[in-house]
Amino acid sequence: MNEKKPAGMSEAMQTEAIAEDNASLDTLSSLEIITRINENDQTVAQAVQRVLPQIAEAVELLVEALGNGGRLFYTGAGTSGRLGVVDASECPPTFGTPHEMVQGIIAGGRVALFHAREGCEDKDWMGARDLVRRGLRSGDVVCGLSTSGRTPYVLGALRKAREVGAKTIAVYCNPEGSVGQLADVAIVPVTGPEVVAGSTRMKAGTAEKMVLNMLSTATMVRLGRVSGNMMTNMKISCEKLRYRATRIIMQRLGVDEDEAWRLLAESKDDLAAIPGLQ
């Protein structure tokens, strides 16, 4: 048994605080519970809005790095790690990026995507090791995701990034979090106590997801992987995307559906090969 008190736990963390106005949650009806959750969720967008300048700064950093051949690594534990993996995995089909351009790394590896491996987040050396295994180098960007702002795994990853000369971004929800000290850009949407005390997969996790949506989408728009507001670089891998591509061709080129299907077939489902579409 580890009887040593975790470092920094004596400091107040807003995401771990107990909201007194939700203290009677277990006495409420189903509708009342979800209403309370919904009311709390409405404050998340406002928290993210307050850090838009920092998000924009991070986008500028990413545009420069990725535009010069660098890569983006999301790194985190638990919910934060899973959110990073999800955002990274969406970039190739949505924006036609190489799979190595945006990568998600979760403490505990692939197994942790499906089964909680909470102990791995306490090992800072694992955060560094996992980046080394991906060939981290100067010119890359590491984005550390930690709702608490003090996850050892993320701290280890950010330290390694600075050691090799990579740029760093930190996304966390506690102003007291120490990960910001290792970041070139710190993004801190303060979401406060959760409806269920300490369950940061809720408001804090939602805030992280919103920030990641902005980081990857705005970066890809700036890199020219979106035309107008259409996904003209997406990879077509199913009928849903083939139909979506057809509508994009019709809209961008002003042709009818039959001509759009013909152009798509002629390009062998490669939107980038269709003249005038980009």
121 tagged catalytic: yes
Q: Which two tokens mark 19?
A: 């909201």
90 is catalytic: yes
DSSP run (H or E) holding 111: none
Round to whole Å and give the CA distance between 158 and 132.
Answer: 12
Q: Furthest-apart CA pair in the chain: how many Å?
A: 70
- What would the two tokens of residue 218 be? 């705005």
What span, in angstroms and rounded, lies between the C-alpha atoms of 125 and 201? 24
Helix (H) or strand (E) holding 219: helix 203-222
Among candidate residues 121, 163, 194, 239, the one labeled active-site is: 121
Identify which of 83, 48, 56 has the alpha carbon closest to the alpha carbon of residue 221.
Answer: 56
Task: With beta carbons less than 8 A apart as the criterion, state whether 196 and 204 touch.
Answer: no
Give me the catalytic one of 16, 57, 64, 90: 90
Q: Which residues are known to be catalytic?
A: 90, 121
